């Protein structure tokens, strides 16, 4: 293709075309700089978003399956409240899952009459009661590449005694939210903070020999061991460590139990088993992790509301890549429809979580806004190609005329300058991308430099961690690889049109 | 001998900066393998006539037929690429390319894969420059550049060679070399040549001489 051959020759800088070469080098430099800036910025934003999403989805899984109103008004759920076998109490998801044998606890002969306002039992083709919990767990168990576990939330008042040598006994009393520990959560061990020396000393001092042996035999598979005298382990958010609490400190959880005539205060003894990083959970500083039986016990005694709109009981589903949560959601929804249990469950991915929705939407808006700004900056940068190519056209007028005399059509001439534009854009993109990759690999050096100039940390460790997160944004890379050559081509069209308007006869005659 | 080119009553006028009737009914018949020279004073329209014959310039009235093609109705770039070879006063070679690349440029433009490097070298040999095939144009002398331009005009085997003052930019010695070379090549390759020149020595080497005067072409006897 002779157009490509000529375009490449024209793009080679030469001593004779010093001005054109200088402008062309400047154009490449400016576009490369913009590409570098866009890629580094969007990759850092991408890294921060990914980091935050990982934090958001480590305690709360990327996918949540929660019962719908239909579930709570179904015969399947309500039947336990009138059945002697169920002790006349409705069951949470874990209890439903662990129910052995027949899913229908109701006995016509012994239990009270079913209220007429209730929904009719949902029966399968065999005439058996459809069990949406067991079917849902059955569907989940077929997928080897996901982890899942039911969760339950609750609330109570926590009181912890702080006794240190040479200091008076003090207490920390706080209203807290309780979340059942999901031991199948693949991130749980990373969330727990390693104990300090003070923690270890305090822990050993408060433990009996039996408790030590109990703990020793449980670790490392289980993190939460109930001690002698039913003392329950709790994991506190790391912010409470600043209040002087250490691992091994003891106290109790207080909640009210409603009876027919009065409220009774109940206590559950606890010890601090460790601290965890709640990530970006808005109620993270008040959320305490406990054994599932604790939340179950409190919820049975009194109805508790969810502080941030998170459903109180449900199933968490973790997958290797949280960004595939949407895909999993669609796939599971379809399977639930196929198994006739879709009406009982609502599947939500992390982007729809009540506490994360606004933050994630803001991230999307920021990325969209900067992408638009990036395109505008790219257009401005690529416009320098126009001046570069117009200079080239003026410089090469005689050769353009000679080529036309040799049979080159206007289209051929336009293609030559179009290729010049696209090639300039592509070369600039490649230089910018390579520079961005280098920068992203050595981002800490850049951050250290910025911090040194400012005299304080350029990026807050609380928000961004010890290293500024960055993940090469594939979308930004595609945007650059597609947009830059297109904008460069458009920039090359104006000089190309100018070149085709030249009259070869006039140019050759003017010599 | 049959005709290669016939121009009948060709008119051309320019309206800017003032109305000038440059060509007032040019008629010309050129036989195949014949060489003709067109002479005339400066500003008489010799180059304009050559550009019209070479389809680089349009004309107002008349008819031109080249190799049985009415040039008003043809794909002009394709026609120029396949039937016409141009030689200009200034060589008009592409500075960034070598001699060989310049010679092969018409073949590249016409995407003629059959014309290969060997053909280019053969054409350079014809103008005694095969040893400078890979030289960049900027390293060649003025005479050598014009010889490369002559070789380029013969690429694609055109039937008609149009030369516009081919030695106008050269000293006497180089002019004589270029004249002789051009005529030798035309004869050897059996091409038809129309050359516009002020140089009497070049004109006398051609078989026919025409004078363009006051917009009319007159054959000199």
What residue of B is the nearest CA neighbor of A401?
A: B92
Model ipTM value: 0.90
Those residues with Cβ within 8 angstroms of residue A497's Cβ, 6 or more apart along the chain or in another chain = A414
Q: Are B162 and B194 in contact (CB under 8 A)?
A: yes
Q: What is the pLDDT of residue A383?
A: 82
> Is the confidence at residue B102, as pLDDT, over 60?
yes
Distance (Å) of CA A412 to CA A386, A390, A421, A425: 19, 17, 14, 20
Tokens of A352: 């729809």
Q: Are B49 and B20 in contact (CB under 8 A)?
A: no
Q: What is the pLDDT of residue A430?
A: 92
For B79, the 3-state DSSP assignment is helix
Do residue B109 and residue A508 have CB atoms under 8 angstroms apart? Answer: no
Distance (Å) of CA B57 to CA B50, B53, B89, B145, B172: 9, 8, 17, 25, 31
The nearest CA of chain A is from the CA of B195 a distance in Å of 15
Q: Are A479 and A371 in contact (CB under 8 A)?
A: yes
Q: How far apart are CA A398 and CA A385, in angstroms?
A: 21
The verdict on B74 touching A (C-beta cutoff 8 Å) is no
Residue with token string 């944004």: A473
Tokens of A34: 């913009």
Beta bridge partner(s), residue B212: B217
What residue of B is the nearest CA neighbor of A12?
A: B96
The mean of the pLDDT values for chain B is 87
Q: How far apart are CA B48 and CA A36, in angstroms?
A: 53
Distance (Å) of CA B14 to CA A59, B23, B45, B112, B169: 84, 10, 11, 37, 27
Q: What is the pLDDT of residue A494?
A: 86
The nearest CA of chain A is from the CA of B2 a distance in Å of 26
Q: How far apart are CA A459 and CA A385, in angstroms?
A: 36
The verdict on B184 touching A (C-beta cutoff 8 Å) is no
Query: Other C-beta atoms within 10 Å of A175: how many?
Result: 11
Q: What is the mean pLDDT of residues B82-94?
A: 87
Q: How far apart are CA A153 and CA A388, in angstroms?
A: 65
Higher-pLDDT residue of A374 and B136 is B136
Where along chain A do its domains lie?
2-57+360-510, 147-319
Q: Are A202 and A247 in contact (CB under 8 A)?
A: yes
Q: Strands across the sheet with B61-66, in order?
A: B20-31, B3-14, B61-66, B69-70
Do residue B92 and residue A6 have CB atoms under 8 angstroms apart? Answer: no
**Chain A hits for B164, Cβ within 8 Å:** 508
Q: What is the mean pLDDT of residues B147-156?
A: 88
pLDDT digits (tens, 9 = 90+) for A388-444: 888 888 888 888 999 999 999 999 999 998 998 888 889 999 999 999 999 988 888
- Cα A354–A359–A361 angle (5° rounding)? 95
Tell me which DSSP letter residue A120 carries. Answer: P
pLDDT digits (tens, 9 = 90+) for B12-68: 888 877 788 888 888 888 888 889 999 988 888 888 999 999 998 888 889 999 888
**Phi then psi for A340, rounded to 5 degrees?**
65, 35
Beta bridge partner(s), residue A258: A263
Tell me which DSSP letter residue A284 carries. Answer: G
Do residue A402 and residue B47 have CB atoms under 8 angstroms apart? Answer: no
Give the predicted TM-score (pTM) of the model: 0.69
The verdict on B14 touching A (C-beta cutoff 8 Å) is no
Which of B96, B97, B115, B123 has the highest number of chain A CBs within 10 A, making it the mutation to test binding with A?
B96
Q: What is the mean pLDDT of residues B193-220?
A: 88
Tell me which DSSP letter residue A250 carries. Answer: E
Q: Is the backbone peptide bond immediately before B175 cis, with ω within 30 degrees of 0? A: no
**Chain A hits for B108, Cβ within 8 Å:** 2, 5
The nearest CA of chain B is from the CA of A486 a distance in Å of 26
Residue with token string 């109103």: A69
Tokens of A135: 């079917």
Those residues with Cβ within 8 angstroms of residue A115's Cβ, 6 or more apart along the chain or in another chain = none
Tell me which DSSP letter residue A227 carries. Answer: B
Tell me which DSSP letter residue B52 carries. Answer: H
**Phi then psi for B211, rounded to 5 degrees?**
-115, 130
- Cα B82–B183–B137 angle (5° rounding)? 65
- Count Cβ atoms within 10 A of the Cβ of residue B65 and give its class: 0-12 exposed, 13-18 middle, 19 or more buried: middle
- A263-276/A232-237 β-pairing: parallel
Q: Are A50 and A469 in contact (CB under 8 A)?
A: yes
Q: What is the pLDDT of residue A211?
A: 67
Q: What is the pLDDT of residue A101?
A: 79
**Residue A230: CA count within 13 A, CB half-sphere:** 7
Do residue B92 and residue A509 have CB atoms under 8 angstroms apart? Answer: no
Share of residues in chain B with pLDDT > 90 (%): 15
Choose among A406, A412, A511: nearest Cβ to B80. A406
**Phi then psi for B199, rounded to 5 degrees?**
-85, 115
Residue with token string 């500083």: A285
Q: Name every residue in A having a CB less than 8 A away from some CB of B.
A: 2, 5-6, 9-10, 12, 14, 16, 398-399, 401-409, 412, 504-505, 508-509, 511
Q: Strands across the sheet with B160-164, in order?
A: B84-87, B160-164, B192-196, B35-39, B208-213, B216-220
Q: Are B161 and B123 in contact (CB under 8 A)?
A: no
Chain centroid to CA B26: 18
Q: What is the pLDDT of residue A260?
A: 67
Q: Are B153 and B87 in contact (CB under 8 A)?
A: yes
The nearest CA of chain B is from the CA of A408 a distance in Å of 6
Q: What is the pLDDT of residue A24?
A: 79
SS (H, E, C) B112-152: CCCCCHHHHHHHHHHCCCHHHCCCEHHHCCHHHHHHHHHHH
Q: What is the pLDDT of residue A7?
A: 87
Beta bridge partner(s), residue A251: A160, A270
Q: Which residues of chain A have pLDDT under 50?
A: none
């Amino acid at each position: 293709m002779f157009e490509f051959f000529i375009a490449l020759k024209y793009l080679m800088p030469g001593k004779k075309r010093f001005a054109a070469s200088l402008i062309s080098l400047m154009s490449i430099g400016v576009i490369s700089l913009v590409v570098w800036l866009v890629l580094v910025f969007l990759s850092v934003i991408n890294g921060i978003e990914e980091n935050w999403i990982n934090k958001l989805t480590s305690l709360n899984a990327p996918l949540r399956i929660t019962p719908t109103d239909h579930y709570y008004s179904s015969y399947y759920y309500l039947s336990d409240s009138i059945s002697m076998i169920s002790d006349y109490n409705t069951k949470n998801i874990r209890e439903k899952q662990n129910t052995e044998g027949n899913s229908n606890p109701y006995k016509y002969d012994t239990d009270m009459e079913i209220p007429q306002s209730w929904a009719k039992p949902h029966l399968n083709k065999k005439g058996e009661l459809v069990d949406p919990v067991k079917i849902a767990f059955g569907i989940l168990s077929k997928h080897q590449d996901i982890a899942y576990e039911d969760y339950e939330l609750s609330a109570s008042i926590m009181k912890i005694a702080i006794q240190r040598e040479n200091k008076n006994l003090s207490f920390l009393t706080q209203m807290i939210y309780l979340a059942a520990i999901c031991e199948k959560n693949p991130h749980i061990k990373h969330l727990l903070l390693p104990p300090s020396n003070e923690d270890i000393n305090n822990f050993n001092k408060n433990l009996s020999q039996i408790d030590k042996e109990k703990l020793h035999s449980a670790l490392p598979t289980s993190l939460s061991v109930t001690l002698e005298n039913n003392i329950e382990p709790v994991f506190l958010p790391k912010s409470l460590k600043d209040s002087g609490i250490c691992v091994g400190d003891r106290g109790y959880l207080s909640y009210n139990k409603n009876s027919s005539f009065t409220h009774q205060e109940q206590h559950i003894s606890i010890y601090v088993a460790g601290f965890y990083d709640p990530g970006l959970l808005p109620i993270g500083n008040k959320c305490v992790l406990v054994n599932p039986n604790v939340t179950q016990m409190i919820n049975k005694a009194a109805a508790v509301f969810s502080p941030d709109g998170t459903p109180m009981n449900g199933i968490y589903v973790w997958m290797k890549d949280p960004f595939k949560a949407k895909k999993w959601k669609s796939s599971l929804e379809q399977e639930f429809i196929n198994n006739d249990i879709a009406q009982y469950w609502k599947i939500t991915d992390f982007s729809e979580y009540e506490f994360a929705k606004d933050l994630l939407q803001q991230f999307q808006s920021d990325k969209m806004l900067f992408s638009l700004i990036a395109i505008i900056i790219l257009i401005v940068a690529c416009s320098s190609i126009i001046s570069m190519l117009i200079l080239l056209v003026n410089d090469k007028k005689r050769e353009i005329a000679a080529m036309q005399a040799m049979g080159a059509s206007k289209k051929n001439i336009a293609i030559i300058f179009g290729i010049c534009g696209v090639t300039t854009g592509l070369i600039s993109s490649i230089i910018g991308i390579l520079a961005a990759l280098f920068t992203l690999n050595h981002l800490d050096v850049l951050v250290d430099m910025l911090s040194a100039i400012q005299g304080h940390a350029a990026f807050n460790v609380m928000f961004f961690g010890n290293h500024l997160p960055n993940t090469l944004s594939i979308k930004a890379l595609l945007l650059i690889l597609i947009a830059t050559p297109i904008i460069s081509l458009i920039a090359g069209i104006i000089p190309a049109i100018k070149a085709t308007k030249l009259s070869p006869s006039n140019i050759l005659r003017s010599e | 001998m049959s005709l290669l080119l016939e121009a009948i009553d060709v008119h051309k006028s320019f309206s800017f900066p003032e109305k000038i009737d440059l060509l007032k009914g040019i008629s010309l018949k050129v036989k195949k393998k014949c060489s003709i020279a067109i002479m005339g004073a400066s500003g008489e329209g010799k180059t304009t006539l050559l550009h019209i014959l070479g389809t680089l310039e349009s004309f107002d009235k008349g008819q031109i037929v080249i190799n049985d093609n009415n040039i008003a109705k043809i794909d002009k770039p394709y026609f120029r690429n396949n039937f016409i070879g141009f030689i200009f006063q200034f060589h008009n070679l592409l500075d960034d390319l070598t001699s060989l690349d310049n010679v092969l440029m018409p073949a590249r433009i016409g995407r003629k894969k059959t014309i290969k490097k060997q053909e280019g070298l053969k054409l350079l040999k014809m103008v005694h420059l095969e040893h400078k095939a890979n030289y960049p144009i900027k390293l060649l002398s003025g005479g050598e550049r014009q010889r490369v331009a002559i070789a380029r005009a013969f690429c694609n085997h055109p039937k008609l060679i149009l030369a516009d003052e081919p030695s106008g930019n050269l000293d006497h010695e180089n002019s004589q070399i270029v004249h002789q070379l051009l005529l030798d090549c035309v004869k050897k390759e059996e091409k038809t040549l129309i050359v516009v020149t002020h140089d009497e020595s070049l004109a006398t080497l051609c078989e026919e001489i025409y004078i363009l005067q006051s917009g009319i072409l007159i054959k000199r006897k």
